[in-house]
Amino acid sequence: MTASQTMIEFSSLALAPEMLQAIREMGYETPTPIQAESIPPLLEGRDLLGQAQTGTGKTAAFALPLLSRLDCKQKLPQILVLAPTRELALQVAEAFKSYASHLSSFHVLPLYGGQSIGLQLRQLKRNPQVIVGTPGRVMDHLRRNSLTLDNLSTLVLDEADEMLNMGFIEDIEWIFDQAPEDRQVALFSATMPEAIRRIARKQLRNPIEIKVRNKTETVTTIDQSHCVVTRHHKMDALTRLLEVEPFDGMIIFVRTKTATVEVADKLEAHGFAAEALNGDMNQAMRERTVSRLKSGQLDIIVATDVAARGLDVERISHVVNFDIPNDPESYVHRIGRTGRAGRTGKALLFVQPRERGLLKAIERTTRQPIPAINLPTADDLSEHRIDRFVEMLRETLSEQDLDFYYRLVSRIEKEQETSALDIAAALTFLSQKARPFIVDELENPDRKGRREKREKPGKDKRSQKKSRSRDNAIPFETYRLEVGEKDEVSPREIVGAIANEAGLDGDMIGRVEINKDHSLVELPVGMPKEIYHHLRRVYVRGQKLDLSLLNADAPAARKEKKKGKGKKRHQKSNPGKSRK
């Protein structure tokens, strides 16, 4: 069965009156395709295999019919929903609570790691009818006998492909073994890999299959665009766009937990209300951050894919892919955080010049082009700041009592023997020092790339000089890598490995020299200790780089020198030197 757009009403789907009342109060009018196709068979007790992307309304697709069949007088859990992350578990539990607002004696309980097990044990004694949990914590309670599935009528797997990616499949099968054989099963997944199909064949009985066929259905309400920008200019580009683009709430996606903190801190320094959201935060901190975004105390969250899983905040109007995802499916999930339930949203993708292949892969996946936009020019930004300044002046003149300040300016005129115009000009200068009206232009990455191509020497297996790095006057240090000609390594592979692992733009990597048993590479002076130790463990062509600084007195190499390794490496790089 294929889900398609339909004009039917919720009232025609035989839902319980309490459900209809709740969704009317929530402003729901017509079901989404996945809801229209899922609700009838789930009401009948049929097993269901549903394929739908994030943001299509699948939570309501299973929660509404299952709650319609719920017996609130029962003291044991009747519905178990398994979710890959605590964020999604909390979101689903909150949705159940909203839909069941008119059911008496109803209780839903989220179970997830990171929360006190003692608190959960106390809450389980309140006899919840619905459990929403992550597989690990559900297993903990089943083994403790604090949770029993003896009275379970329905088991739901939400985002099954994500649970597969996170290694939960064996845990899920163990949980299935603890449930009654005659339970109803609903499995929802954005994609349908063979491993998920195997679970469906084993655990579902004659299921109804539903699929939202076109991947672009989840993004048709989202205005997508991309801009090409070098890594070095990403933050400048982001702050310029945020300054001229009106937005309500925003999620900015980056690749690493470290980047969430770095980008959020830089945005705060520019005056934006931003916070990081990553896996290193405890649950209380994460819930506080999301709550602040929902309430408007916070405007921007900088997150990784995993940290944002299950995040659904209505006021998110923009999604920015600060780092382009390597997986096109991740792009669809990311931008699905905006443009939900028919609302419009905007998604912006930053693409480095060398990442255009990833952009093409995303366009093939979404089956639509992602148009390019130009970053605000220096003139655009200047005019915007001036316009905002003039508007502030206008509001101040019309709304504030300025008598004291008129007298002050008049006094300064007399005492300093200067005009009111001179005073106004000086005050204007002082007021805009933090955000100047005169802005420098960003370099065009395409023009820069063409210049680099002209300057790049012919390919040489032994060495490759990067004159653009010299032109930029970046101070370099030389590092030794324990890979060379014997490993058939190329300069391109070394540059690619270091750029990807250290988060460096190609401009920040200098000369690469390939020797028989080792290579030399120039990297910027003052490499952070954590990046240095990380690069030592990176592999190229199956060999560990085992990176070391040639100058044994430099900070990054002092530890190696103390271990006696500095001398050994120096001798290796100078095989003709006598060992006296």
List beta partners, residue 522. Answer: 478
d(CA 322, CA 325): 9
Per-residue model confidence (pLDDT) at position 197: 87
Per-residue model confidence (pLDDT) at position 37: 92
Confidence band for 100, pLDDT divided at 50, 70 and 90 = very high
Confidence band for 445, pLDDT divided at 50, 70 and 90 = low
- Single out the residue of 81, 123, 78 nearest to residue 103, CA to CA: 78
Which tens digit of pLDDT belongs to each residue from 48-63? 999 876 667 788 999 9
Identity of the highest mean pLDDT range in 119-133, 384-398, 511-525: 119-133
| pLDDT of 573 strictly over 50 | no
Per-residue model confidence (pLDDT) at position 471: 42
- What region does 578 belong to: left with phi over 0, alpha with psi -120 to 50, or beta? beta
Between 103-112, 121-130, 197-206, 560-569, the lowest mean confidence (pLDDT) is in: 560-569
Per-residue model confidence (pLDDT) at position 571: 36
DSSP secondary structure code for residue 372 in this structure: B
List beta partners, residue 21. Answer: none
The secondary structure element, H or E, covering residue 90 is: helix 86-99
Per-residue model confidence (pLDDT) at position 472: 45
Q: How many helices (H) and strands (E) does the chain have?
A: 24, 20
Per-residue model confidence (pLDDT) at position 447: 52
Per-residue model confidence (pLDDT) at position 54: 61
d(CA 502, CA 511): 17
d(CA 165, CA 172): 13
DSSP secondary structure code for residue 276 in this structure: E
- Single out the residue of 69, 47, 57, 49 nearest to residue 23, CA to CA: 57
455 close to 490: Cβ distance less than 8 angstroms: no
Which tens digit of pLDDT belongs to each residue from 267-307? 988 888 999 998 778 778 888 888 899 888 999 999 987 77
Q: Is 512 helix (H, G, I), strand (E, B) or coil?
A: strand
Per-residue model confidence (pLDDT) at position 465: 38
Per-residue model confidence (pLDDT) at position 457: 43
Pairing of strands 512-514, 539-540: unpaired
Pairing of strands 476-481, 548-549: antiparallel
d(CA 52, CA 121): 34
Confidence band for 464, pLDDT divided at 50, 70 and 90 = very low
- What percent of the chain has pLDDT above 70? 81
Per-residue model confidence (pLDDT) at position 441: 62
Task: Label residues 243-278 b or e (16+ Cβ within 10 Å = b).
Answer: beeebebbbbbbbebbbbbebbeebeeeebebbbbb
Per-residue model confidence (pLDDT) at position 48: 95
d(CA 147, CA 132): 12
| pLDDT of 107 strictly over 50 | yes
CATH number of 218-366: 3.40.50.300
Architecture per CATH, 10-213:
3-Layer(aba) Sandwich (3.40)
Pairing of strands 274-277, 249-253: unpaired
Give the tokens for residue 117. Answer: 């097990």
Q: How many CB atoms lie within 10 A of CB 353?
A: 16
Q: Is 348 helix (H, G, I), strand (E, B) or coil?
A: strand
Count of positions (residues) in the chain = 580
DSSP result, 292-343: HHHHTS--EEEE-HHHHTT---TTEEEEEESS--SSHHHHHHHHTTSSGGG-
* Mean pLDDT of all residues in 208-215: 72
d(CA 509, CA 494): 10
Per-residue model confidence (pLDDT) at position 395: 82
Residues sharing a CB contact under 8 Å with residue 337, sequence separation 6 or more, in sequence order = 54, 55, 251, 308, 311, 312, 313, 316, 319
pTM: 0.46
Residues sharing a CB contact under 8 Å with residue 528, sequence separation 6 or more, in sequence order = none
Confidence band for 543, pLDDT divided at 50, 70 and 90 = confident
| pLDDT of 132 strictly over 60 | yes
Q: Is 448 helix (H, G, I), strand (E, B) or coil?
A: helix
* Residue 95 CB-density burial (10 A; 0-12 exposed, 13-18 middle, 19+ buried): buried
Q: What mean pLDDT is reported for the chain?
A: 80
The secondary structure element, H or E, covering residue 210 is: strand 208-211
Confidence band for 435, pLDDT divided at 50, 70 and 90 = low
Which tens digit of pLDDT belongs to each residue from 323-373? 988 767 678 878 888 876 556 789 999 998 888 888 887 887 777 899 998
522 close to 510: Cβ distance less than 8 angstroms: yes
Which tens digit of pLDDT belongs to each residue from 13-51? 889 999 999 988 877 778 888 899 999 999 999 999 998
DSSP secondary structure code for residue 506 in this structure: G
List beta partners, residue 154. Answer: 79, 184
List beta partners, residue 276. Answer: 302
252 close to 322: Cβ distance less than 8 angstroms: yes
